[in-house]
Structure 1
């Protein structure tokens, strides 16, 4: 399992925080009753000096918009107007700007490593430098063609029977091509002191099952692009036109069959339904054509006596397909997933075909420059070797300590909210506090770095390095089976601009790449940091108590620790959030899926409330009951909400927005911004909002979890 892809249970903030347009379910108001609050109106009296703050730029705001009518465009309207999506991107926001700055530093590290041909053999510096150098050597890649892929293609071609097919499936797991299904070693969610072998649905090229069946014009056009993608890639492998077209139809047919048996994205959000433990003997009886004992033995997991099957009906279909479908057709399917998954390391013609398909999905106009793509590949393959070089330059011990202090303050605020909760019973509160106290916090980078000594990297071939890194990564994962739980393991690399909560480990993780301006700036005032990275910290922390995370206890065990009454009340309150978001429409006839986005919406709701409380404690500690300074004419409370909003502003292509609505558990950025605020009296007070204004929900319609 590719470790840049988090475990199935991890709830990440995600890079796809996308923008939409105004909500459709908010009340209208006349301009006569709307006090317009602008940057000028909020400024300190002329007799007082206006203190200049760090982290917020008033020029990005649109003072012509009332914050109480449309806080998203009030807080960042001018920025949105002046920052269109670049041709090589599908969306554009502050995270992309930070990404550009980070990439500049990472590129410098990589180019210095690549230029150092005398680095000690086997050192991280040698491996990082050689991997990147081989990835940038387009002359060698073009000259090699598909010759270096031929050994793997020959393995597939040599399959003669079902037994051989089972062996090649194991090989595809090692190479992480994504064929048929996913398999890996994860923490056992109901026995979190041990690892388990997990199997879960997969094997598709399109983003999820719905893309194979929806009949609207947009989805039909994506399927047409998908067929062209398949056909052209088979032609590049050497098939004549008729054979390429036939093979494309074969892959689509097999994938559609798998898709029909797959669960929907909403169904996949049920952790209990995704936990189906059975003995290996039971699995062999249920799925004889898969022959799990043989596959697991090939993967060095022969000692496994049990497996956890995520989606049993999907594996029923895999089992039937393996016997019913012609062997030649299945070999065609395997060829496809091999070439699709390695296209980035093949000649330009393969890269171009992959890009044309991604254009159809997300609307990107231009392929990202090669060094950026190969930088990402190096991070994917050698993330912690590369990451050690990065954190030495980008993340100080002082910054790490300040971030830890913030997390501890937010944790204390969360404890207070649990203790003063009016709808939760004492036994459930006790369990919730126990879980909060047991929460592990990881900041910046691992305490113990990965050992890459068993991975051989040279300058000979990017494709060879890519496949070697995948196989090394998978073997590292299966090695964990039967051993103690590795609490030091990270699911993201240090330079990643993201964060996550992992329920079975009950941990929140913040890589150094995210703890950079504008998300985190040690020189900014508390209000800005708490509204920015603090909002992320609160979000990840409260994932432990969202509709999914709350099903895991203090040890990360998947079990029900709620009383029936508390469970029912939580679900009632969560349903209000779902209804609110399902009414948001970013495009004509396209609505947010309140069920798919439930967990992320709840984490935004609860997280922001918790962090606001933490900020108030911080301000009280610093200023007591005395005056609190305004920066850029805004109070700390106003700067808190402005910081929350300004870091969620983004422009997005319509194609990418439609894809997000169908596949992403995060709501579009506009609704992530205003959704929680429309329910917060603290926001109304900060900006003087009155009943009847669009950002103010009637008290009976508000959602409140914590």
Structure 2
């Protein structure tokens, strides 16, 4: 593919270009002893974690972080460990302190602090939870047992759905409920909200676990059926094994109705709208009136139907499969969802399958960790407000905002230099970039939790009410103007996102931590990590889904046919590159499934380097402890993507995630001409790609 400005990437031996930008002058220097010390190493990079016995061109990940990989043990309560997980542990410890302080300090009834404290205290009150046993479920299970008609079944299924997926912003595609409601912008008019219905109903991670021929899946199917029986037995069902067989058979049928993840992430396919009146004819089987009434959706005139064939298939099953099987199914999923809030026997059985069997995690996380996660989920922005007050220094936010500004400027300059894009398309691309917003740290307006009832001593009830509170909060959006400032992540979340209908990047406070960002680290390392992350999110606005949205956040074509053909050809070339990687024997990455992330990683890395150069404002880039700025930048990128997986977790990521396993993301350096020059990578080395095989898009 033609590069942005097809100038030589090497002019002489010292001038290096990354995606068309000249490397700044270098100045030899040591890292000043007077500077505050960064959290990692002497300048923000773990030099001791490198394995210099390996040539970068043979295994760049090993070269950059190999000794860290060797020395790092995955904790018994985790299925993987990497830079992000380590930052999450640090954030969780901070959140624990906030929550425990709220639990101890006197606070007015109904205040956010009181709710935080009562929620966590209730979850940690194991004696009370053991005393209650299965009692919290009795009313729900009795209601399900009383189902005696197809209308009753449809009503129960409608009452069970929640808002627990987000296809565009969070990349959450799976729900154990029969369907999920997602309230988001109308793809054709981003000023309006639309209710979307998405496929669900599986207790294992993906349809492949039910239908795949791999012996590992066959073993898990048997383990899952035994798990279903164990849960029903704990809830004192009379014939748990027979019920488990019925549930398993029904879930296999549901899995057959599901579409693949590759189809699910195709936004154009997801933009299907059905009128309320057409649901019975387009998806016969369900009693749609009963379903929508209990779901609170009966007044909605239109629905986005993200996977039409799956929705129709699931609806048919409600009429074709025996009522007793559906009753067993609903009972099991009611127990399964509630298990973490019930007695130890339920929680342990839940972990035995979902943690140990599926992800190979040996040990359940400590109860306080589970309590912190759950409290932070239920009262996310209330906790987040306390988090940023204590842990987000103004200077850190200011530095991140400055970095974001440089990334946006760099991406704009890259657009200007593209020689494969027509002037007509480029005008629209620049217009879209001009509409981007970067939100750092925390939202301008905090969520109101006044309507959430939290009762001390009622762990299960608090969890249930929190889920319903969030569901009704989303329902309340329908018919209202879109909130363009809404955050889809809490400030204490270690992640970032691009919202295509808002043209916004969200950078929560908790991600501003090493290895992503350290205010005391070398700027090249920071730009290789957080800068590449920011560039990644900006590039999402122009990946193979983001590129379908215009400057106003609408799903509207703004490309010439020739430009789109060129873009898709290069995207396919990058997807094929990733599909060649096999992290497990016989199990390759699906490059089409990970395509949006591959494009974002590649564009993000190149843009971040340009942004780093902008940050220097003409000053020479120092050499620190023998590492050039180019080397530190690329090593910082690799360090931020270091990770280890247990086999089950690795398999799950490959099958169910749109992100490739983390170490493979670092291999996008193979497409940067600068990487070859910086580390003297030569033909014949394992990672070498001929110039014609390197992919450049943005």
Q: TM-score, normalised by structure 1?
A: 0.90
Question: Distance in 2 between the 1:337 and 1:50 partners?
Answer: 57
Question: Distance in 1 between the 2:305 and 2:500 partners?
Answer: 18
Question: Please, which runs of 5 or more residues in structure 2 have no aligned partner?
Answer: 1-27, 34-41, 165-174
Is 1:579 aligned with 2:576? Answer: yes
| Distance change in 2, residues 1:367/1:428 (3 Å) | same
Is 1:659 aligned with 2:652? Answer: yes
Q: Which residue in the other structure is 2:23 paired with?
A: none
Question: Distance in 2 between the 1:49 and 1:614 partners?
Answer: 23
- Shift of residue 531, structure 1, vs aligned partner: 0.5
Question: Distance in 2 between the 1:115 and 1:175 partners?
Answer: 32
Q: 1:222 aligns with which of 216, 220, 243?
A: 220
Offset from partner CA, 1:61-80 (integer Å, 9 cap, x none): 11211223221111111111
Q: Which residue in the other structure is 1:366 paired with?
A: 363
Question: Distance in 2 between the 1:128 and 1:238 partners?
Answer: 33
- Shift of residue 584, structure 1, vs aligned partner: 1.2
SS in 1 for 2:268: coil
- Within a 5 Å distance, the mapping from 1:658-697 to structure 2 comes to 658-674=651-667, 676-697=668-689
SS in 1 for 2:472: helix
SS in 2 for 1:446: coil
Question: Distance in 2 between the 1:700 and 1:49 partners?
Answer: 38
Q: Which residue in the other structure is 1:151 paired with?
A: 139
- Shift of residue 191, structure 1, vs aligned partner: 1.5
Q: Which residue in the other structure is 2:50 paired with?
A: 61
- Shift of residue 315, structure 1, vs aligned partner: 1.9
Contact kept, 8 Å, 2:286 with 2:316, in 1: the verdict is no
Question: Distance in 1 between the 2:555 and 2:215 partners?
Answer: 41
Question: Distance in 1 between the 2:83 and 2:675 partners?
Answer: 23
Q: Which residue in the other structure is 1:19 paired with?
A: none
Is 1:630 aligned with 2:619? Answer: no
Question: Distance in 1 between the 2:542 and 2:162 partners?
Answer: 35
Q: Which residue in the other structure is 1:80 paired with?
A: 69
Contact kept, 8 Å, 2:266 with 2:545, in 1: the verdict is yes
Is 1:124 aligned with 2:112? Answer: yes
- Within a 5 Å distance, the mapping from 1:33-72 to structure 2 comes to 53-72=42-61
Offset from partner CA, 1:520-567 (integer Å, 9 cap, x none): 112222101100111110111101111111111111111222111011
Q: 2:470 aligns with which of 462, 473, 477?
A: 473
Q: 1:210 aligns with which of 197, 208, 211?
A: 208
Question: Distance in 2 between the 1:202 and 1:58 partners?
Answer: 46
Is 1:287 aligned with 2:266? Answer: no
SS in 1 for 2:511: coil
Is 1:137 aligned with 2:125? Answer: yes
Is 1:648 aligned with 2:641? Answer: yes
Contact kept, 8 Å, 1:58 with 1:632, in 2: the verdict is no
SS in 1 for 2:182: strand
SS in 2 for 1:630: strand
Question: Distance in 1 between the 2:405 and 2:669 partners?
Answer: 24
Moved more, 420-429 or 695-704: 695-704
Question: Distance in 2 between the 1:654 and 1:518 partners?
Answer: 25
Is 1:390 aligned with 2:387? Answer: yes
Contact kept, 8 Å, 2:163 with 2:181, in 1: the verdict is no
SS in 1 for 2:269: coil
Q: Which residue in the other structure is 2:306 paired with?
A: 310
Contact kept, 8 Å, 1:175 with 1:471, in 2: the verdict is no
Q: Which residue in the other structure is 2:548 paired with?
A: 551
Is 1:354 aligned with 2:355? Answer: no
- Shift of residue 518, structure 1, vs aligned partner: 2.3
SS in 2 for 1:505: coil
Moved more, 531-540 or 553-562: 553-562
SS in 1 for 2:261: coil
| Distance change in 2, residues 1:288/1:691 (3 Å) | closer
Question: Distance in 1 between the 2:288 and 2:508 partners?
Answer: 36
Question: Distance in 1 between the 2:176 and 2:474 partners?
Answer: 16
Offset from partner CA, 1:332-388 (integer Å, 9 cap, x none): 111111111111101111111111112111111111111001110001100011111
Question: Distance in 1 between the 2:31 and 2:305 partners?
Answer: 61
- Within a 5 Å distance, the mapping from 1:253-264 to structure 2 comes to 253-264=249-260
Is 1:517 aligned with 2:505? Answer: no
Question: Please, which runs of 5 or more residues in structure 1 have no aligned partner?
Answer: 1-46
SS in 2 for 1:567: helix
Q: 1:237 aligns with which of 235, 238, 242?
A: 235
Bigger relative contact order, structure 1 or 2 (CA pairs below 8 A, ≥6 apart):
1
- Shift of residue 50, structure 1, vs aligned partner: 6.1
Question: Distance in 1 between the 2:665 and 2:188 partners?
Answer: 32
Question: Distance in 2 between the 1:594 and 1:453 partners?
Answer: 45
Offset from partner CA, 1:155-186 (integer Å, 9 cap, x none): 21222222222221222125978332112322
Offset from partner CA, 1:136-158 (integer Å, 9 cap, x none): 00110010011111111122122
| Distance change in 2, residues 1:500/1:159 (3 Å) | same
SS in 2 for 1:272: helix
Q: Which residue in the other structure is 2:441 paired with?
A: 444
Contact kept, 8 Å, 1:51 with 1:630, in 2: the verdict is no
Question: Distance in 1 between the 2:343 and 2:206 partners?
Answer: 28
Question: Distance in 2 between the 1:533 and 1:69 partners?
Answer: 26
Contact kept, 8 Å, 2:289 with 2:298, in 1: the verdict is yes
Is 1:104 aligned with 2:93? Answer: yes
Contact kept, 8 Å, 1:50 with 1:633, in 2: the verdict is no
Question: Distance in 2 between the 1:361 and 1:455 partners?
Answer: 33
Contact kept, 8 Å, 2:82 with 2:643, in 1: the verdict is yes
Moved more, 417-426 or 580-589: 580-589
SS in 1 for 2:621: coil
Q: TM-score, normalised by structure 2?
A: 0.91
Query: What is the count of residue pairs matched by the alignment?
Result: 653
Moved more, 129-138 or 81-90: 81-90
Question: Distance in 1 between the 2:582 and 2:325 partners?
Answer: 42
Q: 1:431 aligns with which of 428, 442, 445?
A: 428
Contact kept, 8 Å, 1:179 with 1:334, in 2: the verdict is no
Offset from partner CA, 1:196-254 (integer Å, 9 cap, x none): 111111111111111111122111111111111111001011024xx101111111111
Contact kept, 8 Å, 2:29 with 2:623, in 1: the verdict is no
Offset from partner CA, 1:405-434 (integer Å, 9 cap, x none): 111111111111111101111111111111
Contact kept, 8 Å, 1:162 with 1:289, in 2: the verdict is no
Offset from partner CA, 1:615-672 (integer Å, 9 cap, x none): 12222x051xxx4322232111111000000111111112211221111111122211
Moved more, 277-286 or 342-351: 277-286
Question: Distance in 2 between the 1:340 and 1:139 partners?
Answer: 21
Taking only aligned residues, the RMSD between alpha carbons, in angstroms, comes to: 1.7
Offset from partner CA, 1:64-114 (integer Å, 9 cap, x none): 112232211111111111102111111111222222222221111111111
Q: Which residue in the other structure is 1:179 paired with?
A: 177
- Shift of residue 505, structure 1, vs aligned partner: 1.9
Question: Distance in 1 between the 2:363 and 2:96 partners?
Answer: 20
| Distance change in 2, residues 1:570/1:345 (3 Å) | same
- Shift of residue 319, structure 1, vs aligned partner: 2.2
Moved more, 212-221 or 474-483: 212-221
Q: Which residue in the other structure is 1:537 paired with?
A: 534
Q: Which residue in the other structure is 1:16 paired with?
A: none
